[in-house]
Amino acid sequence: MYQSFEVSARPEQGPPRLLALRAEMQKEGLDGFVIPRADAHQGEYVAPRDERLAWLTGFTGSAGFCAALVETAGVFIDGRYRTQVKTQVAEAFTPVPWPEISLGAWLREQLPQGGVVGFDPWLHTPGQIAQTEAVLEGSGVTLRQSTNLVDRIWADQPAPPMAQAKVHPLQFAGESHAEKRHKVGAVLRDAGQAAAVITLPDSLCWLLNIRGSDIPRNPVVHGFAVLHQSGVVDAFVAAAKVGGLDDHLGDEVSVRDPSELLSYLDGLDGPVRLDKLSVPVVIADRLDDRKVWGDDPCALPKARKNEAEIAGAAAAHLRDGAALVEVLCWLEGQPPGTVTETQVVTQLETARRRDNALRDISFETIAGTGPNGAIMHYRVTEETDSILQEGQLLVLDSGGQYLDGTTDITRTIPIGAPPPEASAAFTRVLAGMIAMSRLRWPVGLAGRDIECVGRLPLWMAGQDFDHGLGHGVGAYLSVHEGPQRLSRLSDVSLEPGMILSNEPGYYREGAFGIRIENLLVVRDAPELEGGDAHRKMLQWQTLSFAPIDRRLIVTEMLDTSARDWLNAYHAGVAEKIGPRLSPDAKLWLDAATVPI
């Protein structure tokens, strides 16, 4: 099994670490300190060195933060993690539902007499700070920039990542980095902007056609870049990471040490474009009145995959689907009560490693059985490893990082005979997943405009789930990629080439979880025969191919069109995946894809 790189604390370690942090707060004259799950690059994923939130509190979710005050410490978590956080933090930390309760509102309540709360300006964006300060106005509570107090008390903090970067081949990138740099530079020029500061690691890697391993499970390189309107780039990356890449980078890309970034910005003429959602406060402050706000100029071009990237993703998904089917076949042959979650994870990661194009898994495999399946981002540990028992459901969410594409797929599997209420909920989840897969929609709509389609069958039964319907996915990059999402919070228009997940679910705490996920790519929709359409439409192309467990389907709950879609999908699975399988798995797949 792949090594886990996660930094975490046992619940009993949290209180003494919190006491040490409070001692540092007192030295600095602070009444509080905010610890986000973030690094200076403001990506979703962080290196072990930057896992300050997990080290302090024990909470290992991918989003959240802690506000440590003298008398209390709140751990702010969204709906995905409200079950998980209960098992990971000590009583010294109080879970706070977020974003329902904002940091500013909570500080007003906890510090009624006012106070000073510190934050590390490298780990927060101007947008985050401005939002909190607006809520705090008139409260007497102020925010103050500070050095990082957690770093002072973390004696064995890991070193910064220094992995060697590699060239991402043109056959997979589909476009040279010179073409990308000049195309994005022209966008800046047309906007009257001299340059843009790039902070997101996946944007840097996409722009320069490089990949790395500075973040576990994500092939990115840590660094910053200044992209000039001419297409010239100054990259602030440790020299050891890019040694040997001179010929690839060429004369228009200069490599500088990251320690030079702030002084370099001092001499930069404006206007300089910054993304308020991803740039650290310290960079925005340094540019002062030379800055202009705008989106990361790489975000949309990166999200709109070209045909080489789409072809690579499709090929990767077929090999990945074959690995998953081999494991599903193996699992069905194991009697209930004989297999653990860890064994399932090991089997699946071993099956994927047989592919020479695999570079890593794309995230820690989720294999949650029974109550563990209700923890949306569950990760099995020695303490939680559970045996798959009769009557339980297994949520299996996994993916791979291949040279030609990034995969992410979820299937829910019954262990023995499933409970009737679980089958009914599964069928509603499936109906929503199918409805989204079949959807055609007008050009210009965003994720927030259509994601309810995938929830409707659950809503009609008074059920729902507390995560987005889908996230963007990179091309051998981050498995979670913005700016596109299938979410009620996303106003980014969906465009051809964008890859997103389609993953409705249902979770009953203490009992079971359900999720079904495929990856889809946005395509132009052809005009319907004999139609009189007056608007250009978009549709989905499905990339993921693996059977959906028929044993959990209540057939009469699906209408004819949904059954037809499922039967056609399963026929495609048999056709595309079958020839890639061992004889036993091929026989199993033939039975698993029989029409309903």
Last residue of a domain, one of 153, 179, 208: 153
Rg (CA), the chain: 24
Q: Three-state SS for 588?
A: helix
- Residue 271 shares a structural domain with residue 332: no
Last residue of a domain, one of 252, 285, 302: 302
Residue type (1 letter), 540: W
Last residue of a domain, one of 258, 283, 302: 302
SS (HEC) of 203-215: HHHHHHCEECCCE
- Residue 314 shares a structural domain with residue 296: no
Q: Three-state SS for 83?
A: coil
End-to-end CA, the chain: 36
Where residue 565 sits, what CATH number does that domain have?
A: 3.90.230.10
Identify whether 27 is part of a domain: yes
Q: Would you state the structure tokens that stand for residue 311, as one six-digit string?
A: 């072809």
Please provide the DSSP assignment of 159-227 as one string. PPP-PPPEE--HHHH-S-HHHHHHHHHHHHHHTT-SEEEE--HHHHHHHHTEE--SBTTB-----EEEE
- Residue 28 shares a structural domain with residue 117: yes
Length of the chain: 596
Identify whether 482 is part of a domain: no
Identify whether 472 is part of a domain: no
Phi then psi dihedrals of residue 233, to 5 deg: -125, 135
- Residue 324 shares a structural domain with residue 371: yes
- Residue 276 shares a structural domain with residue 337: no
Question: Is the entire prediction scored with pTM above 0.75?
Answer: yes
Residue type (1 letter), 282: V
Identify whether 461 is part of a domain: no
Please provide the DSSP assignment of 413-482 as one string. EEESSPPHHHHHHHHHHHHHHHHHHH-EEETT-BHHHHGGGGTHHHHTTT---SS-SEEE--SSS-SSEE
Residue type (1 letter), 431: A
Please give the tally of structural domains in the chain: 3
- Residue 170 shares a structural domain with residue 97: no
- The pLDDT score that the predictor gives to residue 5 is 44
- The pLDDT score that the predictor gives to residue 84 is 87
Where residue 71 sits, what CATH number does that domain have?
A: 3.40.350.10
Distance CA 137, CA 116 (A): 13
CA-nearest of 411, 344, 404, 336 to 379 is: 344
- Residue 101 shares a structural domain with residue 180: no
Distance CA 348, CA 82 (A): 28
- The pLDDT score that the predictor gives to residue 8 is 63
- Residue 441 shares a structural domain with residue 329: yes
- Residue 500 shares a structural domain with residue 575: yes
**Which range of residues forms the domain containing residue 499?**
309-445+494-592
- Residue 246 shares a structural domain with residue 347: no
**Exposure class string for 309-333: b at 16+ Cβ within 10 A, else e:** bbbbbbebbbbbbbbbbbbbbbbee
Distance CA 588, CA 582 (A): 10
Identify whether 478 is part of a domain: no
Identify whether 477 is part of a domain: no
Identify whether 479 is part of a domain: no
Q: Three-state SS for 589?
A: helix
- Average pLDDT across each block of 10 residues of the chain; the chain has 596 residues. List them in order: 52 92 98 96 89 94 93 92 87 93 97 96 96 96 98 96 96 98 98 97 97 94 98 97 96 97 96 96 96 97 98 98 98 97 97 96 96 92 94 98 98 95 98 98 98 98 96 97 95 98 97 98 90 85 98 98 98 98 98 98
Give Cα 566 to chain centroid, integer Å.
Answer: 27
Identify whether 464 is part of a domain: no
- The pLDDT score that the predictor gives to residue 7 is 62
- Residue 246 shares a structural domain with residue 320: no
- Residue 390 shares a structural domain with residue 344: yes
